Amino acid sequence: MSVEDLNAEAWTVYGQRQLNHGYMPPVPERLEWAPWEGVGPGAEILGDVTGKRVLDIGSGPGHHAVHLARTHDAQVTAIELSLTQHQRAISAHAGTPGVHFVHGDVVDHLRTAQPFDAAYAIGSLAFTDPHRSLPALRDGLRPGAPLILSLLHTDLHGRGPSTTVAPREQMLRLRDDPPLPTRMWVLAPRLWADLLTEHSFRVEAIDLLRPSDENNPVVQQLIHARRHRRRRHRPQ
């Protein structure tokens, strides 16, 4: 089984467990880039998305997409690979004006979709090989479009990011249910910056978001990038 197939299976099980528990996260009052409320910026780092086509990558139960549509009048495509996560989203939010829920692979979707004005991923892009996802995002975003990525930096065990572009084992945890093994690209900020630059993005900032609880070791990276207005070419 490939790394991405393993991750897809884990998220399908996770989504089914949440369906079994009947849990749906509330639509937030602001866009949260970390698991903790009020840490870091909100939707303003996407710029003015009024009436613009925005891609939510790995949208899960859809609450972030609904917030952007309701509060910021964006036209959001919320794409999710896990069928059970997609089912959670449509069970709660189907018919929400301004949100189009899609079940599928984001790379496949971007091959035929019209270019987007902005894209973001909250904790999700690290489950896909960046050598596969970043070229698709480069081609699927309009020149100058922002790409905002929230990515794991330091995990629950205090383990920091990798210094090589390779996936490593991480666990999905859900209260009393057994943890689910996944493999994630938990990369150092410099590696993400190099990968984004290689694929025609300009990295404008990388912030580290930390919880207020000093006993919680988890740290999130928040990457602000922008699609170059012209594709960069390597010298031959």
Minimum mean pLDDT range among 17-21, 23-27, 124-128, 226-230: 226-230
Query: For 3-20+47-210+223-227, which CATH class?
Result: alpha beta
List Cα–Cα distances, 137 to 117, 126, 149, in angstroms: 11, 14, 12
How far apart, in whole angstroms, are the C-alpha atoms of residue 57 and residue 70? 18
Q: Which residues of 147-172 are buried (b: 16+ CB within 10 A; e: fewer)?
A: bbbbbbbbbeeeeebeeeeebeebeb
* Residue 23, pLDDT above cutoff 80: yes
How far apart, in whole angstroms, are the C-alpha atoms of residue 89 and residue 141? 24
State the sign of the Cα–Cα–Cα–Cα dihedral 103, 81, 137, 30. positive
Residue 205 exposed, middle or buried by CB count within 10 Å (0-12, 13-18, 19+): exposed
| pLDDT, tens digit, 9 for 90 and up, residues 120-179 | 999 999 999 999 999 999 999 999 999 999 999 999 999 999 999 999 999 998 878 999
How far apart, in whole angstroms, are the C-alpha atoms of residue 207 and residue 201? 17
Write out the DSSP string of 67-88. Answer: HHHHHH--EEEEEES-HHHHHH
How far apart, in whole angstroms, are the C-alpha atoms of residue 143 and residue 128? 23
Amino acid identity of residue 115, one-letter, is P
Give the whole-number percent of the chain exceeding pLDDT 90.
Answer: 94
Instruction: For residue 131, give both structure tokens.
Output: 């050598």
pTM of the model: 0.95
Average pLDDT along the chain: 95
Domain parsing of the chain, residue ranges: 3-20+47-210+223-227
